[in-house]
Structure 1
Amino acid sequence: MANGSWIPLWLHKLSSPPIFYRFAGLLRPWAYAIAIVLGVIGLYGGLVLAPPDYQQHDAYRIIFIHVPCAWMSMFVYGVMAVAAFLALVWRIKLAEVVAMEAAPIGAAFTFITLVTGSLWGKPMWGTWWTWDARLTSELVLLFLYLGVIGLYHAFEDRRQGARAAAFLALIGIINVPIVHFSVNWWNTLHQGSTVRLFGPSKIATSMLWPLLTMMFATKFYFAGSLFGRIRADLLVLESGKDWVRTIAAGEKA
């Protein structure tokens, strides 16, 4: 079997920078629009319609930001790691771009997770920070994102920097299951999972649906943001190519 021959023809075509540039341009506004609509619905459901928690009262409402961002901090790292794997094995230029442009978005989600977790932890635990297994592994996740970003920009040759950063991204993937399962593996202050894909969730429906709505909102925001960053990066990376000159000429006209 030829190297990479298992990859479908449509995926080969989509990985072409000019084709993906147009594809991302078409989908980006839709992704942002859906993210805004779902975000407004989710926040209204969580901050207004959902009842106060019987223990935490209104302080728990920060979960409608904290939990979706925590989920996204791991999801984005998974996307980055898969793209890094494709870039290293098959040297796909677009995969390098996807991996490197996903990193700042993932870092932002992780930072928001840590900040909102601290804001939530103060009234619940009486402290802004504790070296809890979940919090510590989430902090390590942020450092991994920053390490990928820093290593990428440490090389003058962008593609060489992307390959070096891709190695770090793959090594760091081991931390993602640690973040996810830390509350099960260690004695931790952080509460266990209340939302389950299989089996009943340990959360009232009036609180669950806004949380899931916010989860989808952050997914679509990530897609729109990633598409925009990839488009901008492709223009720089392919600046000497005819298709970029054509776009530049059209914008000047």
Structure 2
Amino acid sequence: MNTLSLWFHKFGSPPTFYRLSRLLCPWLFAAACLIGAVGLYAGLVLAPADYQQSDAYRIIFIHVPCAWMSLFAYIFMAANAFIAVVWRIKISEILAMTSAPVGAMFTAVTLLTGAIWGKPMWGTWWTWDARLTSELVLLFLYLGVIGLYSAIEDRRQAARAASFLGLIGIVNVPIVHFSVNWWNTLHQGSTVRLLGPSRIDASMLWPLLLMALATHIWFFASVLARSRTSVLEQESGKEWVREIVQAQGVRHG
């Protein structure tokens, strides 16, 4: 077994994962809050008004990072679902299932803030635009994974079934991303590019990237926190869980 496989299987051990996530979670939440506060202040206060949309554009500092996260979270969920289906690794099952509610939250915020932004820009709260419709489908896919996982009593079987659904739904991710290029839509094209110059002023770009970083850190913190609880529930009969419970009982006693 090579070093990478050895590390992967060690991290996939529930006791190791629990202890590592307990160590990381407080730091990740703190970092997300600090970076998010700086990014919000810079975006809402320091960044200049847009020459066309005035101050109405400032919702992008919430809308755009959440939209990016709605796709990133689904890719993360699908990647862990693939590992869970192929190699039956319990931690990947848990990560896939616990990331679904977090991804659904980001998708819902994306749709809500998009509607708020669309009203003054387009004159309507909602239109069956390709980007909006595919993003709504993404939310339904998240809800489908959550619902299927909750409907089956056996946690391992439930995770496996929901993982298959999550993998099928991955085809919608490129549709969401490239919809503005493939169809004529009201939604504007990408203004931030990894390759080539971004079509957004630097004074607006850096707060946006800070908010993107904050939402990514918050995502991982939330998934790890939810996963810790799921690990304890699924491993409740194991000796290492009883030791943790006893140690906490002594500490609080």
Matched AA of 2:90? K
Q: How far did residue 251 of structure 1 move?
A: 1.2
Paired residue for 2:216, among 215, 219, 232? Answer: 219
C-alpha offsets along residues 27-77 of structure 1, whole Å, 9 cap, x if unaligned? 111111110111011001100000000000000000000000000000000
The one-letter amino acid of 2:122's match is W
Paired letter, 1:49: L
The one-letter amino acid of 2:163's match is A
Pair 1:250-2:215 in alignment: no
> In the alignment, which residue of structure 2 is the partner of 1:10?
7
Partner residue, 2:97:
100
The aligned residue for residue 160 of structure 1 is 157
1:176 aligns with 2:191: no
Q: Distance in 2 between matches of 1:41 and 1:5?
A: 42
Which consecutive residues of structure 1, in runs of 5 or more, have no partner in the other structure?
Answer: none
Please give the alpha-carbon distance, in whole angstroms, between the structure 2 residues aligned to 1:156 and 1:6.
36
Q: Aligned residue for 1:131? A: 128
Q: The residue matched to 2:146 in structure 1 has which SS?
A: helix
User: Which of 218, 223, 233 is the matching residue for 1:236?
Assistant: 233
- Say if 2:55 is the partner of 1:44: no
Task: Give per-residue Cα distances to partners, 1:60-115, cap 9 Å, x unaligned.
Answer: 00000000000000000000000000000000000000000000000000000000
Deviating beyond 2 angstroms after TM superposition, the runs of 4 or more aligned structure 1 residues are: 4-7
What is the CA–CA distance in structure 2 between the aligned matches of 1:159 and 1:7, rounded to whole Å? 25
1:223 Cα offset (Å): 1.0
Report deviation, 1:171.
Answer: 0.3
In the alignment, the residues of structure 1 paired with residue 105 and residue 222 of structure 2 have an alpha-carbon distance, to the nearest angstrom, of 12
Amino acid at match of 1:163: R
Equivalent position amino acid for 2:175 in 1 = I
Verify: 1:207 aligned to 2:188, yes or no. no
User: How much identity, in percent, do the aligned residues show?
Assistant: 68
* Secondary structure of residue in 2 paired with 1:202: coil
Question: Alignment partner for residue 73 of structure 2, among 61, 73, 76?
Answer: 76
**1:167 Cα shift?**
0.2
Q: Secondary structure at the match of 1:200?
A: coil
1:156 Cα deviation from its structure 2 partner:
1.1
Amino acid at match of 1:205: A
| Whole-angstrom CA distance in 1 between matches of 2:27 and 2:248 | 22
> TM-score normalised to the size of structure 2?
0.97
Distance 1:163 1:117 in 2: 33
Paired residues in the alignment total: 250
Q: CA deviation at 1:6?
A: 9.1
Distance of 2:205 and 2:117 partners within structure 1: 18
Report the CA distance shift for 1:34/1:23 in structure 2 as closer, same or farther (over 3 A): same
Counterpart of 2:189 in 1: which secondary structure?
Answer: coil
Partner of 1:90: 87
The Cα offsets for residues 188-230 of structure 1, whole Å up to 9 and x where unpaired, read as 0000000000100000000000000000000110111111001
Amino acid at match of 2:221: G
Map of 1:31 onto structure 2: 28
CA distance in 1, matches of 2:70, 2:3: 30
Alignment of 1:144 onto 2:141: yes
Q: Which runs of 5+ in 2 are unaligned?
A: none
Deviations 1:217-252 (A, max 9, x none): 001101111110010110000000001101111111
SS, match of residue 174 in structure 1: helix
Which residue of structure 2 aligns with residue 109 of structure 1? 106
Whole-Å Cα distance in 2 between the matches of residues 243 and 108 of structure 1?
A: 33
TM-score, length of structure 1 as denominator length: 0.97
2:221 is paired with a residue whose SS is helix
Distance 2:230 2:2 in 1: 27
